[in-house]
Structures are given as C-alpha cells and as structure tokens.
Chains A and B, each alone.
Chain A
Amino acid sequence: MLTVSHLSLSRGHRRLFSDVSFSLMPGQWLHLEGDNGVGKTSLLRLLCGLGVWEQGEVTWKNQSIVQEPENFRADLLYLGHQLALKEDLSPLENLRADALVAGRDGSVDRVMAALGQMGLRGREHLPVRVLSQGQKRRTALARLLISRAPLWILDEPFVALDAAAQNALSGVINAHLNDAGMLLVTSHQPLSLQGQALSYRLTA
C-alpha cells in the first residue's frame, strides 16, 4: 500500500539518490540497506513527508502523501535517531503526552502495559534523565505498542539494545507484521523477522 516511484533528492548540488522505486504491502517488511552517508535517513524522512523531493512520487493507499497528509500521518509511526523524550518527565508522562499529540489512545493502563512489556516495570514514574541509554531506547520503542498505525518506519531501532531487548523488539515487530502491518527499517545488523522480507539497496 506504500508505493515509491522514481524518487530523487539532492542536497545542494550533490545528488543523494535517484530513481528509487519500491512498494510495500501488508505483512511485508523492507530492509533499506546502504553504506553510511548514502542517504538512508534522508530517504526515510522524505517518505514521512518531512522533506521535499525533486522528482518522483510517494503514495499511500493510492493517494499521494502530499495531498491530505493528515490521513497518511494517522497511519504512520516514525522513530528516528532522536528519542523524542523529555528528560524531566517520566516515561509514563512522556508517552501519554506523545500519544495524545499523535491522536492515539494514551490511557494510563495502555501506556503502563506497553512500558511493562518493554521491560520498564517499576521505572514508569522516574524522570527519563536517570534511566540508562538502553532503558531510554526501550521507552521510546514502547510507542510501537501504543500505536495502531499500520506503517512503521524505523531508523536503526536495534541500536544500543541488549539481547533481551532485541528479542522483545523483534517480538513486537513480528506481532505487528502478523497483524497486516508494514515495516520499513534500516539496520546495520542482520535482521530475522517473520513476514515477507524485502530489501532495497540504496546506492549513490
């Protein structure tokens, strides 16, 4: 349902990538591969609608994401390199506010359950400031459990996670894919997920 056709982007005079095309259907996940600096993050942000491309088209459910962007954003969950967490708020407060801003169900029970599933039981009320890097990442990833968006775009989600957390995350993603979800992901590590695996290599 996500279709990318002949997409190209330049930064200044430097052409980052051109003629990128692929599509993603429910139950599929696409591993976006490429060397450092080739433009993977830029492409992901472009697909979220956070930039303007030069040529090409991106459609969601057969509608351009530039028209009626609210519909696309309601179906999208994006997690980039930044955690989007406020250090002075607790994980519970952070995720509740985040859910309300994104128009999702942010009830206390739901958020607490999500945090518990990501291994943060007992730490839901501490300020994010005092959590470890891994715990902060898991807090950010708990968004995946709260959201009901069908399309997930994740930029290096497995980074800084220990083995247990990586398993937990894989479990969450597999459940999503089995539920007719879609995933677009970058990762320097090899991934083993259920669902139909696709890959696209971005070259300069």
Chain B
Amino acid sequence: MNKIFFHYAAPQNFYALAGRLWPWVAALASALAVWGLWLGFFVAPTDFQQGQGYRIIFVHVPVSWMSMIIYLAMAFWAFLGLTFNTRLSGMMCRALAPTGAICAFLSLWTGALWGKPMWGTWWVWDARLTSELILFFLYLGYIALTNAIDDTRRADKAGGILALVGALNVPVIYFSVKWWNTLHQGASVSLTQGSKMAEIMLQAMLIMAIAFWLYAIAIALYRVRSMILMRERHAQWVADLPEIKAQFKGALP
C-alpha cells in the first residue's frame, strides 16, 4: 500500500493516473446528473406548500453540501501536505479551491432564487445562508493568498495553514451564526431523524450530490494535471510528453 502511495506521490506518475481517471469520473458524473435532474424535475411530485419553484432544491442542497465537503477535503490535503511535505498534496488542495468557491457561490444564488418566491426577499440573514456566505469568503481568502505568494512552495504551505485554521473555525462560525439567528427551513434531510421529504425527492438530491462530488473530483484531477505541467515545465519528462511535443514542436516557453 505504501509503495502505491509513494509511487503516485510523484507528480509524473500522478499526471498519468489522473489523465486516465478523469474522463471516466466526468462521464459518470454527467450520467448521474442527468438521472438526478430527470428525477428532480420530472418525476418528483409537486410540493404541497411550495409548488414547482421548490425544484431548485435539487441543485441548491447538493451544491451546499459540496461546498462544505470540498472544504473538508482541502483541509485533509492541507494536513497531508504540511505533515509529509509532499508537493502533490498542496496541488490537490489548490486544485479543489476554485470548485469549492463555485459551489458556495451557486449555493448562495440558488438559495436566493429559491427564497424569493418562498419568503419574498432575495436575501435573508438566516444561519445557513450567512454561514455559506462566510464560507465563500474563506474560499476567496484562500485563493487570494495562494495567488499572491509567488514562491509556489511557500504558497502551498501558507495556504495549507489557512485552510486548516479555516476548517477548524468553520464549526465555531456555524454555531455562532446559528445562535445569532435561525430562520432556515429546519433540517429536512438529517442523518438522525426520519426525512420529512418524499422518498423520491431525497433520492434525487442524493444522486445530484454524488454527481456534483464526482464532478468536483474530475475537475480537480484535470486542474492538477495543468498545475503539474506548469510546475514541472522544465523537467525532461514533460518535454517528452506526446501532447506537449505536438503543441510546442520543440522548445517549451
């Protein structure tokens, strides 16, 4: 097991692995997304109180979950990177950040789009939306910090510390904001209680969540490949890659 770990910790090997994996993951994500959206938009029944407009929940809830899960994944890679000083961990962390930020952003927008017909306003300062907003700021801060530092190793490490500090603070921030105000629809999908939603709605949301998760993995793998090429551009193995040879026909910029 250790051997496999160390083999793929080298950027060159991970580049090849990621290249083989991401198309399949992306295809699976697309298939699940189509299925989930079909279930959500065509099969799931009209909600008693909220009519047709509620259907945005099939994007809003999965994307909110993903914004939090991706941040946890970033903290995981940050922890690995800082403890074992591996280059690839830092890259994975940075590769996930833009997707996480997009998920947080989408969560805020879909939340607003859902809220307008339901509550009459484009924005409410309730616990969940406000925490999501702060999570979005945390993502932006991470991206800004890692982009501002020119030295890639320092940027990775500093970003890693920031991601970890942020991850540890997220529960604190969440509970503070919850204390501050709660208006949000009480947890309709929770692991401990029975679901208040129709079975089919729950199924559709879970499928969409997995679809987004797979999308995040696929896009992170794709992004890491670009980062590897950028960082290793002076290495011989990069110059020997067929796709590089075809594009640059000789010397790399």
Contact = CB atoms under 8 A, between A and B. Distances in A.
Direct contact of A and B (CB under 8 A): yes
Interface of A: 12-13, 52
Given A13-B233, A13-B235, A52-B85, 5 more contacts: A12-B151, A12-B152, A13-B231, A13-B232, A13-B234
Contacts of A12: 151-152
Contacts of A52: 85
B230 to A, nearest CB: 10
Nearest to A12: B152
Contacts of B233: 13
Nearest to B150: A12
A195 to B, nearest CB: 38
A52 B233 CA distance: 22
Contacts of B85: 52
B157 to A, nearest CB: 10
Chain B interface, DSSP helix/strand/loop, else mixed? loop
A146 B151 CA distance: 36
Nearest to B152: A12
A13 B235 CA distance: 8
The 8 closest A-B pairs by CB, nearest first: A13-B234, A12-B152, A52-B85, A13-B233, A12-B151, A13-B232, A13-B235, A13-B231
A52 B157 CA distance: 12
Nearest to A14: B234
Nearest to B233: A13
A12 B151 CA distance: 7
8 contacts: A12-B151, A12-B152, A13-B231, A13-B232, A13-B233, A13-B234, A13-B235, A52-B85
Contacts of A13: 231-235
A64 to B, nearest CB: 15
Contacts of B234: 13
A167 to B, nearest CB: 41
A13 B233 CA distance: 8
B208 to A, nearest CB: 41
A52 B152 CA distance: 14
Nearest to A10: B153
A12 B152 CA distance: 7
B82 to A, nearest CB: 12
A134 B233 CA distance: 46
A52 B156 CA distance: 14
B182 to A, nearest CB: 47
A12 B235 CA distance: 12
B245 to A, nearest CB: 19
A52 B231 CA distance: 19
Interface in B159-185: none
Interface string B79-90: 000000100000
Nearest to A11: B151
B150 to A, nearest CB: 9
A27 to B, nearest CB: 37
A12 B234 CA distance: 10
A128 to B, nearest CB: 31
B186 to A, nearest CB: 50
A13 B153 CA distance: 11
Interface string B209-253: 000000000000000000000011111000000000000000000
B111 to A, nearest CB: 42
Contacts of B235: 13
Contacts of B152: 12
B199 to A, nearest CB: 54
B237 to A, nearest CB: 13
